[in-house]
Amino acid sequence: MSKISKPQSCLQCPYKWKHLNLLSDDDIRSIRQNCTIIRFKKGETVCKQGTDATHVLYLAKGMVKLYIEGEKNLILRLIKAGEYIDLQTLFGDNSYRYSVAAMDDTEVCMINSEHIRKLAEKNSAYLFELTKVISDSGNYFYKKISDISSKHLRGRLADALLYLADEIYENKEFDLGMTRRELAEMSSMSMENAVRILSELKADKIISVKGKRIKILQYDILKKLSDIG
């Protein structure tokens, strides 16, 4: 982990949040004064479950995973550049409910939470977009937990592969940027089961697997496996 200091300009930043233009230029400049950019290397912890949340975390570069720590970790979701890592603590509990780790080399904007709250108080459109992000995240987490508790192993792994193809890589063919263990943690199963089901899907010609390269050959069938659980 290394500190990069303050951003040069949030106004011209190519990684700025898509709804930042709802704020005035002066308000955007004020974010710069309350922001520090931290660089994390792959595998480093960005924030720790249970610790105080004094800053809003925004991912400027790279990718991170959100996960619940336990005897077996559960990866809730991945976050790509251009998204907030955590907003749940902004208006509610001021401690992180999960840990966040860098999936590759990343840059995180750490913005003072109180300053963001003050901006939201005086700008209803900005507040609406913040709360929409919080609501969408909450709905995603509820569905994730529901699917894990109700679906069989093949359905859960199908969910993970579809999520990676549709939401993360936006392509039916991609280089898996995680270990087999992390794929298992995303599907709430043992690594042995994840490897076995991948092999079965490959044998059934639903996917192809060559090292880290995964290609979905029969998307409709994989989607059906996900739907029936």
The parent domain of residue 178 ranges over 151-228
CATH number for the domain including 69? Answer: 2.60.120.10
Are residues 15 and 126 both part of a single domain? yes
Are residues 132 and 156 both part of a single domain? no
- On whether residue 189 sits in a domain, the answer given is yes
Q: What is the pLDDT of residues 35-94, one digit of tens each?
A: 899 999 999 999 999 998 889 999 999 999 999 998 899 999 999 999 999 788 888 778
Are residues 178 and 134 both part of a single domain? no
Residues 6+ apart with CB under 8 A from 187: 153, 156, 157, 159, 160, 194
Are residues 22 and 116 both part of a single domain? yes
pTM above 0.85, yes or no: yes
- On whether residue 105 sits in a domain, the answer given is yes
Are residues 126 and 166 both part of a single domain? no
Domain final residue, candidates 81, 109, 141 = 141
